[in-house]
Amino acid sequence: MTEAPPTTEEQALADDRPIVIRASNLGKAYTSFASPLQRLRSVLFGRDLSQGSFWALRDFSLDVRKGDVLGVVGQNGAGKSTLLQMLCSTLKPSTGTLEVEGRIAALLELGAGFNPDFSGRDNLLLNGPLLGLTREQLQDRLESIIEFSGIGPFIDQPVKTYSSGMFVRLAFALATSVDPDILVVDEALSVGDGEFARKSFDRILKMKERGTTILFCSHALYQVEAFCTRVVWLDKGQVRAMGAPHEVVREYMLFLAAQSAPALAVSAPAVVQGDTSAKAAQAGPAVHVDTPTSTPGYAQITRVETSINGVVSDQLTCESGVQCTLRVTIEFESDPALPTPAAGMTFEIGTLMILSSVVSKSDGVVLQRDKNGRGTATMRFDSIPLRKGEYVLSAYLGTPDALHFYTEAKRIATLTVVDARPEPGAIDLPHTWELSPGHNR
């Protein structure tokens, strides 16, 4: 008899890495008011005008071991930020206990301690010690922090003159320079331009490789599944599931899909690409996307083209049983000084359910570029095992590890599959029938 594989709990028991975070029955209750004005009146007049309390997070217990990368997923208001803030000790729990071993760096409210009137350099000197850097460490690391931030000569200007991107880049560079034992990341990585997002992801990946414990909260489920070693799904302040990333993410996606089921109608194709969407959508079957060619450190999709059997269109039709070759071509520009980006695409039903995806990295494919960083990649599908329905195609260009996407060309085409068979379903699974008269037993 084969032995059942160990459960996540059994694996955790067998694991001898030290526990660095132990949360027991953590909870956070807030008092709710009908309006902010009622809250103010309650404080000013000392009268209880509240509508009672509600739990933003309840009965949360978890051991996190050194080197764990814990993903936290859940819908808006599920309690993710509340949990992370309590784990970082920036929010006091209403119930439960929390033990944390080691230094935490939190990328939650980046730059919260910065003084807008001081220069970037002075803010580094003031905030570095607060984050745990000694004076010597700070002096040693100052230039590399400034260089990583890409702020350049603006480092001696008051931070109130910075763009929000510059501000966050500087705060990120400082917060991640402290060699933390535990890093807490809350969607902070989507900030900054494409190049900075790539650099920041690289830095976090290196920290993961060095064994830093990471708590990672994101709505990007693909990222969570690819990056984390364990995932917890919060729903209305309570743990709905916890365990292996692919299992928890799958369960959560099914939940999201079930919630959106009534809205599964496919909308007309439109390309969403920064500010250029309207222009791009009007451009006909081959979609052109304007791109800032002069910016160093960028990677952009500049044009996409979709075709069936060589006929270019953004309204593709394929008849079941008839040979259809689908081609999805992405033209891109990128900074040649940067590593070659990865490309990918998805087939979606409606807005939430991704039916299938293709990513160059997972296929072991490296895109080709000329010396100016320009390249073209075509994904060719010689058969389309889909059943009747409408499928939406989107294309992506991302970091070489495909963990972060620089640009998305959303809804570049619809693919309509015509199928005379009445039975429902989206995928045509290859199959055979084995028949015999009578019973074989």
Ligand X SMILES: Nc1ncnc2c1ncn2[C@@H]1O[C@H](COP(=O)(O)OP(=O)(O)OP(=O)(O)O)[C@@H](O)[C@H]1O
Based on CB atoms, which residue is closest to ligand X, 81 or 302? 81
Based on CB atoms, which residue is closest to ligand X, 76 or 294? 76
Footprint on residues 81-100 left by ligand X (CB under 6 A): 81-82
Instruction: Name the minimum Å distance from CB 67 to ligand X.
Output: 25
Among 2, 35, 76, 432, binds ligand X (CB under 6 A): 76
Footprint on residues 331-390 left by ligand X (CB under 6 A): none
Based on CB atoms, which residue is closest to ligand X, 77 or 132? 77
Q: Which two tokens stand for residue 329?
A: 């071509």
Q: How many residues bind ligand X (CB under 6 A)?
A: 10
Among 58, 80, 388, 404, binds ligand X (CB under 6 A): 80
Based on CB atoms, which residue is closest to ligand X, 41 or 65? 41
Instruction: Name the minimum Å distance from CB 58 to ligand X.
Output: 11
Q: Which range in 60-68, 79-87, 113-121, 281-289 contacts ligand X by CB under 6 A?
A: 79-87
Among 20, 26, 56, 215, binds ligand X (CB under 6 A): 56
Among 27, 71, 74, 180, binds ligand X (CB under 6 A): 74
Q: Look-up: residue for tokens 């969403």?
A: 272
Query: Does residue 78 bind ligand X (CB under 6 A)?
Result: yes
- Who's near 264: CB < 8 A, 6+ residues apart? 349, 350, 353
**Most distant CA atoms of the chain, gap in Å:** 88
Measured CA distances, 383 to 323, 324, 325 (Å): 7, 6, 6
Instruction: Name the minimum Å distance from CB 186 to ligand X.
Output: 8
Query: Does residue 194 bind ligand X (CB under 6 A)?
Result: no
Based on CB atoms, which residue is closest to ligand X, 77 or 165? 77
Instruction: Name the minimum Å distance from CB 144 to ligand X.
Output: 32
Instruction: Name the minimum Å distance from CB 187 to ligand X.
Output: 8
Q: Which two tokens stand for residue 350?
A: 């409606």
Q: Which range in 77-85, 192-200, 253-261, 412-420 contacts ligand X by CB under 6 A?
A: 77-85
Footprint on residues 8-37 left by ligand X (CB under 6 A): 30
Instruction: Name the minimum Å distance from CB 167 to ligand X.
Output: 20
Query: Does residue 113 bind ligand X (CB under 6 A)?
Result: no
* Pairing state between β 353-359 and 342-349: antiparallel
Based on CB atoms, which residue is closest to ligand X, 82 or 212? 82
Q: Which two tokens stand for residue 378?
A: 């075509």
Instruction: Name the minimum Å distance from CB 49 to ligand X.
Output: 15
> Which residues contact ligand X by CB under 6 A?
30, 56, 74, 76-82
